[in-house]
């Protein structure tokens, strides 16, 4: 297949899709399948036959639109009618009313108009719209045109220039400027060079990367292709957690299809550019998302971080220059190439361009996966997109950045979301987890929960993280069972800061964040636990209650 | 007779081997000087039954292993100005704490010690104070002001610390203290 | 100043060292002592114990001197109140995470952990101590592995792999449960790869690996890696 052939495929596919008046997109991602999405899909296929509209109506198995709490989600085009909690029993009625009679079934439509209003979908541009198992669907949406543009009209330096100009920063959490990273790898003389895509999303309650891989795998592949072209790599690895079977299956299929179309292989689109990639599976360790730990794991060793320098850009896989990027970063690349770096730099804020995917969870009305422009405020995310707190309860805190993020109080709700603002208040962008906490949660208990997680996930290499977190956990165990001392607050603060400053890798350096931010913003709750032996949310001292009950009997 | 010019010193022997007290006595002729300045108001080596009031310095040997010891230590703490952990058992748990690796259940510990490993006449002793689940270093039970680690702490170090404290000088253990 | 030489200041002493030198080496070469536990000359730096953290003028961060290369104009501080407090805290964390009982340990008086605690004035551990009961492997003819005394510095793992070249020792599990293992978690006495070279016992900073029946003061030799390498490269 040649460069020009791709255009023909796209045109052909667009014509093919236009032949249908309606398109029914049934979300069959990991979120919706447990709700019975596959049965719903089957029911739609049967129903369109029953009403003899199969020639007008294409039923597609797609990825996620983000409304994960009310699956299975179904979108009927044109008009983007989003149906929630669709059951196979109501499919017949939906096809009859919506497709045949032209009357959308109102009581099944998604409950909130605000959920999508302030979102800006670049990374998730195709999520829920295309069938991820068909490369043609992706091509019809303009997919792979960016790599064609690169190969036909741009030099590798030109590609790096555009990426640099876009202002894109790494979406894995640390926010290193992507263009700068690419030039470091490109400038490195040693060969071969490697690309590693990080899809080891280990944070509890975070599912943005999984959704992306399940909904639009080719966007990741195209991003890797462009990056490979720019830095001069011939081999890539996608490091994905083994706990994501559907994403693995989707990616494997995508790779086979891309190879068949010569988008991967010894001669990409019959040009001299050579690139191929493989999947590598992680065995479920949080620390394996750390870049140097990934390198060790891809090489077949224990996923443990190592000190930097040397940075992977100079000495990565097998000591060779290696570009490691989060898949979300990579999925941005085709859009940047298609529209130009300058266009991208205007999305978001001047310091922090583009968008960010967040997994919005907790005590909120519209949980799900969202993509918002950088600079949006937490208030907009929680109260507009998220639709506010469940059952109109009072807002208490929002945890930004996953298990090693920071718990921010109401006073900080107008904080714009970008790397620097979040770091300033003790939180991090991290993997993009936002957990909304209402007054029924105890902040001490919340901090303890995430400390427990980090204790469990510490790799054991460095002392602060391995041994220090255990001591922090012990102090929490004391405070939440009634044995807390006033000195414990100072001890937590000291140990927390030590672990933050002295740990070897990002896991340890951020692990105390929930502790330090709750100490900073919710100190009164700690004092209540220690002095009054009281937990206003009723989460702690459960052991004591039990003892009293036993005595009563 | 109470002598107002002398510093009132007490020593307590909890769960330890008495080696720390031996080391205290090992100060040899320095004890003669010390005796000019201190009055020993409570100690396993003097015959006073109740821990007195207004003690200036209390040196405690041994870990806190049973309820009686816990009570005595707390009692001593409120009647003492300066409380010192003397020796590794008091500072870390040390040999007394070895049982903590075995079990946190006093019953299981006693069974192991007096039944399973007994050569003759296996029986768990009665009429003795109840064991705590774990043998604890002093500072996990009460506030401790100074620590003199060592198994036993060298006599010279004990003398040095007491001397510094009586002269109101700061006690910096850097390069002086040693576990074990 | 010759090409490839870097000029910097360590504790206000001006020093010149070759490019690529780590701060720790540069300090040592100029008589500045930085406390360490996992470092052994001749083995790959591990960066695990965090004892060797130093401050670099102009940066709010701390740097592990064993893995941070020097650069021109650096002003390094190896002793400060904060560093001392952090080092003492690290020692307390290590002392509290497993049952370190000096009085009954073979390494008593030949132990780097004990010595550092003494030097830095760690006279007690403010945190609750763990009383672990990890398995002790004494199946080897004369080498013993007591995991309760291990500080997970991996000196033994590295010397076994990098100097002896057999990689008998490695780690299993993670976090506080992490343990040194023999082969694929077998008994040491049944190991088919171990050459019984004793290098692990020589570099062990504590009493976790030792030679049965021999005085530790005789069997410890931290310089074994450097020595072997110097012969090999002669």
A321: left (phi over 0), alpha (psi -120 to 50) or beta: beta
Band (A553; pLDDT cuts 50, 70, 90): very low
Q: How many CA atoms lie within 13 A of A505 on its CB side?
A: 27
Which helix (DSSP H) or strand (DSSP E) does residue C64 occupy? strand C62-64
Nearest-by-Cβ selection for B98 from C101, C111, C128: C101
By C-alpha distance, the chain C residue nearest A472 is: C127
CA distance A66 to A361: 12
Tell me if A137 sits within 8 A of A75, measured CB to CB. no
pLDDT digits (tens, 9 = 90+) for A494-508: 999 999 999 999 999
Q: Which of A377, A358, A359 is nearest to A421 (CA)?
A: A377
**Beta carbons of B144 and C102 less than 8 Å apart:** no
Contact (Cβ atoms closer than 8 angstroms) between residue A468 and residue A499: yes
Superfamily in which the A17-113 domain is placed by CATH: Glutaredoxin (3.40.30.10)
Among the residue ranges A2-6, A270-274, A383-387, B43-47, the one predicted with the least confidence is A2-6
Q: Is C177 on the interface with A (CB under 8 A)?
A: yes
- Give domain A142-345's CATH superfamily: NADH-ubiquinone oxidoreductase 51kDa subunit (3.40.50.11540)
What residue spans define the domains of chain A? 17-113, 142-345, 355-438, 443-542
Please identify among residues 93-112 of chain A the ones whose CB lies closer than 8 Å to any CB of chain C.
none
Q: Which two tokens stand for residue A73?
A: 């989600």
CA atoms within 13 A on the CB side of A482: 9
Q: Are A195 and A381 in contact (CB under 8 A)?
A: no
- pLDDT for A542 equals 78
- More reliable by pLDDT, B23 or A549: B23
Query: How far is the alpha carbon of B51 from chain C, nearest alpha carbon, in Å?
Result: 26
| C30–chain A Cβ distance below 8 A for any pair | no
pLDDT of residue B104: 87
Please, what is the angle between helix A217-231 and helix A327-339, to 10°? 70
**pLDDT confidence of residue B5:** 81
What's the mean pLDDT in A172-183?
Answer: 93
Looking at residue B179, what is its pLDDT? 94
Residue of higher predicted confidence among C170 and A204: C170
Residue B154 per-residue DSSP state: P
Q: Name the percent of chain C in helix, strand, coil, to the closest 5.
A: 30, 20, 50
Q: Give the pair of three-digit tokens for residue A5.
A: 């052939």
In this structure, the number of other CB atoms found within 10 A of the CB of residue C29 comes to 14
pLDDT tens, position by position, B58-82: 999 999 999 999 999 999 999 999 9
Chain-chain contact of A307 with C152 (C-beta, under 8 angstroms): no
Give per-residue pLDDT as tens, A32-71: 999 999 999 999 999 999 999 999 999 999 999 999 889 8
Give the gap in angstroms from C-alpha C72 to the nearest C-alpha of chain A: 16
| Cross-chain residue pair A467–C177, CB shorter than 8 Å | no
First to last CA, chain A: 80
Tell me, what's the pLDDT at A402? Answer: 86
Confirm if A237 and A197 have CB atoms less than 8 A apart: yes
**Is there a contact between B94 and B28 (Cβ–Cβ < 8 Å)?**
no
Nearest CA in chain A to C52: A502
Q: Span A335-362, mean pLDDT?
A: 95
Cβ proximity of C58 and C107 under 8 Å: no
Name A99's Cβ contacts closer than 8 Å, sequence gap at least 6: A22, A24, A48, A51, A53, A56, A57, A76
pLDDT at A551 (0 to 100): 53
Measure the CA–CA gap between B116 and C109, rounded to whole angstroms.
Answer: 34
Q: What is the CATH number of domain C5-79?
A: 3.10.20.740
Q: What pLDDT digit, counting tens, does each position of C136-194 carry?
A: 999 999 999 999 999 999 999 999 999 999 999 999 999 999 999 999 999 999 999 99
Q: What ipTM was reported for this prediction?
A: 0.95
**C-alpha to C-alpha distances, A435 to A25, A287, A362, A399, B108, nearest whole angstrom:** 29, 21, 5, 5, 44
Q: Are C94 and A467 in contact (CB under 8 A)?
A: yes
Number of CB atoms found within 10 A of residue A420's CB? 12
Q: Is the pLDDT of residue A543 over 80?
A: no
N-term to C-term CA, chain C: 28
Whether A463 sits inside 8 A of C49 (CB atoms) is: yes
Neighbours of C64 (CB within 10 A): 26
pLDDT at A4: 83
Give me A320's structure tokens: 């060779």
Composition of chain A by helix, strand, coil, percent to 5? 50, 15, 35
> B172: helix, coil or strand?
coil
Q: Answer yes or no: CATH 3.20.20.70 is held by domain A355-438.
A: no
Name the region of A184 (left: φ>0; alpha: ψ -120 to 50; beta: rest): alpha
CA distance A533 to chain C (A): 21
For chain B, say whether C214 makes contact (Cβ under 8 Å): no
Tokens of A156: 């590798």
- The C-alpha torsion from B17 through B21 and B25 to B31, rounded to 10°, is 170
Task: Please report the domains of chain B, with CATH numbers, ordered by start residue.
Answer: 7-99+131-166 (3.40.50.700)
For residues A48 and A45, give the distance between their C-alpha atoms in angstroms, rounded to a whole number.
Answer: 6
A326 close to A201: Cβ distance less than 8 angstroms? no
Give yes or no for residue B30 having a pLDDT over 60.
yes
Disruptive mutation site among C127, C134, C152 for chain A (greatest number of A CBs within 10 Å): C127
Check if the beta carbon of residue C162 is closer than 8 Å to that of residue C225.
Answer: yes
Q: Measure B77 CA to nearest chain C CA, in Å.
A: 18
Arch. (CATH architecture) of A443-542: Up-down Bundle (1.20)
Chain C residue with CA closest to B99: the answer is C131
Q: Minimal Cα distance from C127: which residue of A?
A: A471
Partners of residue B109 in chain C, C-beta under 8 Å: none
Spatial distance between the Cα atoms of A447 and A515, rounded to a whole number of angstroms = 5
Under a CB-based contact definition with an 8 Å cutoff, are residues A344 and A354 in contact? yes
Residue A548's pLDDT is 54
Distance between CA atoms of A27 and A93, rounded to whole angstroms? 19
Chains B & C: contacts with CB separation below 8 Å: 85
Contact A123, A242 (CB under 8 A): no
CB-CB contact of A144 with A128 (8 Å) = no
Q: Give Dmax (Cα) for chain A.
A: 82
Interface test with A, best of C48, C51, C63, C169 (most A CBs within 10 A): C48
**What percent of chain A has a predicted confidence (pLDDT) above 70?**
98
Say what percent of chain A tops pLDDT 90: 92
- On whether the CB atoms of residues A335 and A319 are closer than 8 A, the answer is no
Residue C125 touches chain B, beta carbons under 8 Å: yes
User: Binning pLDDT at 50, 70 and 90, where does residue B2 land?
Assistant: low
SS3 A176: coil
Predicted pLDDT of residue A403: 87
Looking at residue C1, its pLDDT comes to 46
Provide CB contacts within 8 A for B153, sequence distance 6+. Answer: B20, B23, B86, B87
pLDDT of the residue at B177:
86
3-class SS of residue C85: helix
Which backbone phi and psi does C62 adopt, to 5 degrees? Answer: -105, 155
Helix (H) or strand (E) holding A20: none
> Which member of A464, A466, A495 has the closest CB to residue C176?
A466
Using only C-alpha atoms, chain B has a radius of gyration, in whole angstroms, of 17
The residue among B40, B42, B137, B45 whose CA lies nearest residue B87 is B137
Which pLDDT value is given to residue C34? 97
| pLDDT band for position C234 (cuts 50, 70, 90) | confident
Nearest-CA distance A499 → chain C (Å): 9
Which residues of chain A have a CB within 8 Å of the CB of C97? 466-467, 470
Mean pLDDT value across residues A399-406: 91
Pairing, β A235-241 against β A194-199: parallel
CB burial of residue C72 (10 Å; 0-12, 13-18, 19+) = exposed
For residue A350, the tally of other CB atoms under 10 A from its CB is: 10
The CATH number, out of the four listed (3.10.180.10, 3.30.70.20, 3.40.309.10, 3.30.460.10), of the domain defined by the range C86-232: 3.30.70.20
Q: What is the domain partition of chain C in residue ranges?
A: 5-79, 86-232
Phi-psi bin for B29: left (phi > 0), alpha (psi -120 to 50), beta? Answer: alpha
CB of C120 within 8 Å of a chain B CB? The answer is yes
| Chain B positions with Cβ closer than 8 Å to C | 85, 88, 91-95, 97-98, 100-102, 134, 137, 139-140, 144, 147-149, 151, 172-180
CA angle A140/A143/A145 to nearest 5° reads: 110
Using one digit for the tens of pLDDT, what is the confidence trace for C77-132? 999 999 999 999 999 999 999 999 999 999 999 999 999 999 999 999 999 999 99
Side-chain-facing half-sphere of A356: CA atoms under 13 Å: 34
Per-residue pLDDT tens over the stretch A371-392 = 999 999 999 999 999 999 999 9
Q: Which two tokens stand for residue A133?
A: 């198992």
């Amino acid at each position: 297949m040649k460069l020009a052939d791709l255009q023909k495929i796209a045109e052909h596919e667009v014509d093919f899709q236009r032949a249908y008046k309606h398109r029914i997109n049934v979300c069959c991602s990991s979120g919706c399948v447990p709700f019975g999405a596959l049965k719903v899909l089957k029911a739609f296929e049967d129903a369109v036959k029953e009403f003899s509209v199969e020639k007008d109506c294409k039923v597609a198995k797609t990825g996620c639109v983000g409304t994960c709490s009310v699956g299975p989600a179904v979108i009927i085009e044109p008009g983007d009618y989003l149906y929630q909690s669709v059951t196979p029993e109501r499919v017949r009625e939906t096809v009859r009313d919506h497709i045949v009679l032209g009357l959308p079934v109102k009581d099944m439509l998604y409950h909130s108009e605000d959920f999508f209003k302030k979102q800006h979908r670049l990374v998730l541009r195709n999520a829920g719209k295309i069938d991820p198992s068909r490369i043609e669907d992706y091509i019809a949406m303009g997919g792979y045109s960016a790599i064609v543009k690169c190969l036909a009209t741009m030099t590798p330096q030109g590609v790096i220039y555009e990426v640099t100009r876009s202002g894109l920063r790494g979406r894995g959490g640390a926010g290193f400027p992507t263009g700068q990273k690419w030039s470091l790898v490109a400038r490195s003389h040693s060969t071969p060079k490697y690309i590693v895509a990080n899809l080891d999303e280990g944070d509890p309650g975070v599912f943005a990367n999984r959704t992306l891989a399940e909904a639009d795998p080719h966007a990741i592949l195209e991003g890797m292709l462009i990056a490979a072209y720019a830095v001069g790599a011939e081999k890539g690895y996608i490091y994905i957690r083994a706990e994501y079977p559907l994403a693995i299956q989707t990616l494997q299929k995508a790779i086979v299809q891309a190879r068949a179309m010569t988008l991967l292989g010894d001669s990409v689109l019959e040009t001299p550019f050579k690139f191929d990639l493989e999947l590598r599976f992680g065995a479920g360790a949080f620390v394996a998302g750390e870049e140097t730990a990934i390198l060790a794991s891809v090489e077949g060793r224990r996923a443990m971080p190592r000190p930097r320098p040397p940075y992977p850009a100079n000495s990565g896989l097998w000591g060779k220059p290696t570009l490691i990027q989060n898949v979300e970063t990579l999925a941005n690349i085709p859009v940047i190439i298609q529209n130009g770096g300058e266009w991208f730099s205007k999305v978001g804020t001047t310091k922090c361009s583009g968008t960010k995917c967040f997994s919005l969870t907790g005590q909120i009305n519209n949980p799900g996966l969202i993509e918002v422009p950088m600079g949006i405020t937490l208030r907009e995310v929680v109260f507009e997109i998220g639709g506010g707190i469940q059952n109109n309860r009072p807002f208490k805190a929002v945890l930004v950045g996953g298990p090693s993020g920071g718990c921010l109080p109401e006073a900080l709700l107008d904080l714009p979301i970008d790397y620097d603002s979040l770091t300033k208040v003790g939180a991090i962008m991290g993997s993009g987890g936002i957990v909304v906490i209402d007054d029924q949660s105890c902040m001490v208990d919340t901090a303890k929960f995430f400390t427990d997680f980090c204790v469990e996930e510490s790799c054991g290499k460095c002392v602060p993280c391995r041994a220090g977190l255990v001591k922090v956990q012990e102090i929490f165990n004391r405070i939440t069972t009634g044995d807390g001392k006033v000195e414990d607050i100072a001890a937590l603060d000291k140990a927390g800061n030590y672990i933050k400053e002295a740990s070897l890798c990002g896991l340890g350096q951020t692990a105390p964040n929930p502790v330090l931010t709750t100490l900073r913003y919710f100190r009164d709750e700690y004092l209540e636990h220690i002095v009054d032996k009281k937990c206003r949310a009723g989460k702690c001292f459960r052991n004591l209650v039990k003892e009293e009950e036993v005595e009563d009997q | 007779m109470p002598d107002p010019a002398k510093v009132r010193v007490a020593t307590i022997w909890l769960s330890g081997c008495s080696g720390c007290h031996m080391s205290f006595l090992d100060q040899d002729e320095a004890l003669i000087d010390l005796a000019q300045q201190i009055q020993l108001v409570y100690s396993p080596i003097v015959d006073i039954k109740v821990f007195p009031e207004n003690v200036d310095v209390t040196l405690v040997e041994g870990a806190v292993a049973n309820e009686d010891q816990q009570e005595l230590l707390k009692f001593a703490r409120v009647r003492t100005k300066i409380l010192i952990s003397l020796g590794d058992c008091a500072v870390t748990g040390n040999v007394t704490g070895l049982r903590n690796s075995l079990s946190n259940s006093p019953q299981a510990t006693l069974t192991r010690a007096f039944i399973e490993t007994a050569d003759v006449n296996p029986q768990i002793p009665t009429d003795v104070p109840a064991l705590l689940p774990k043998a604890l270093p002093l500072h996990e039970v009460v506030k401790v002001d100074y620590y003199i680690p060592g198994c036993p702490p060298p006599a010279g170090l004990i003398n040095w610390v007491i001397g510094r404290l009586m002269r109101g000088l700061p006690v910096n253990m850097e390069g002086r203290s040693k576990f074990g | 100043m010759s090409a490839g030489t870097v000029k910097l200041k360590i504790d206000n002493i001006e020093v010149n060292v070759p490019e690529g030198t780590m701060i720790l080496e540069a300090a040592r070469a100029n008589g500045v002592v930085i406390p360490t536990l996992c470092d052994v000359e001749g083995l790959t730096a591990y960066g695990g114990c965090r004892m060797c953290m130093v401050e670099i003028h102009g940066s709010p961060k701390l740097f592990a001197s064993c893995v941070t290369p020097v650069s021109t104009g650096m002003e390094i501080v190896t002793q400060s109140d904060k560093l001392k407090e952090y080092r003492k805290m690290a020692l307390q964390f290590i002392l509290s995470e497993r049952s370190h009982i000096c009085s009954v340990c073979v390494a008593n008086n030949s132990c780097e952990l004990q010595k550092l605690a003494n030097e830095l004035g760690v006279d007690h551990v403010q945190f609750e101590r763990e009383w672990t009961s990890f398995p002790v492997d004494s199946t080897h003819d004369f080498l013993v592995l007591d995991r309760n005394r291990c500080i997970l510095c991996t000196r033994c793992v590295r010397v076994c792999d990098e100097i002896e070249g057999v990689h008998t020792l490695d780690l299993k599990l993670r976090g506080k449960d992490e343990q040194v293992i023999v082969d694929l978690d077998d008994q040491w006495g049944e190991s088919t790869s171990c050459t019984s070279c004793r290098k692990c016992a020589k570099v062990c900073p504590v009493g976790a690996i030792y030679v049965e029946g021999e005085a530790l003061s005789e069997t410890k030799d931290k310089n074994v890696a450097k020595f072997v390498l110097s012969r090999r490269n002669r």
